[in-house]
Amino acid sequence: SQQGEEDPQALSIQEGENATMNCSYKTSINNLQWYRQNSGRGLVHLILIRSNEREKHSGRLRVTLDTSKKSSSLLITASRAADTASYFCATRSGGTSYGKLTFGQGTILTVHP
């Protein structure tokens, strides 16, 4: 079964607006990661946040993690048409040394020019 569940399943916005995607998970984690997938391509790693971190920034990306609620959010500020893609959260459970990730079902983001 999937560890992470993303919300919403699909998001449509205008260029310049902010996009927020949420991820919930079920078991304790070591870290949580976000990936982007453009149509017909492989996934690209965006950002990793560890279980002892609450917020992390990378360029126009902001990720928050609330381990008490077992949830994370990805904020993309000032969205561009090139941000159109599917976004996946992935969790690495604690206590393992080999880094096996469990992925959610993804959020499809469409940014209209």
Partner 1 sequence: NAGVTQTPKFQVLKTGQSMTLQCAQDMNHNSMYWYRQDPGMGLRLIYYSASEGTTDKGEVPNGYNVSRLNKREFSLRLESAAPSQTSVYFCASSDLGQRTYGYTFGSGTRLTVV
CA distances from 43 to 12, 33, 36, 95 (A): 20, 12, 6, 25
Give the gyration radius of the chain's Cα atoms.
Answer: 13
Name which position in 39, 42, 52, 95 contacts partner 1 (CB under 8 A).
Answer: 42
- The residue range among 19-27, 62-70, 71-79, 95-103 that interacts with partner 1, by the rule CB under 8 A, is 95-103
3-state SS assignment for residue 40: coil
Name which position in 14, 41, 78, 94 contacts partner 1 (CB under 8 A).
Answer: 41
Name which position in 33, 71, 79, 91 contacts partner 1 (CB under 8 A).
Answer: 33
Q: Tell me how far apart the alpha carbons of residues 1 and 11 are, in angstroms, rounded to a whole number.
A: 24
- Is 57 one of the binding residues for partner 1 (CB under 8 A)? no
Name which position in 44, 78, 81, 82 contacts partner 1 (CB under 8 A).
Answer: 44
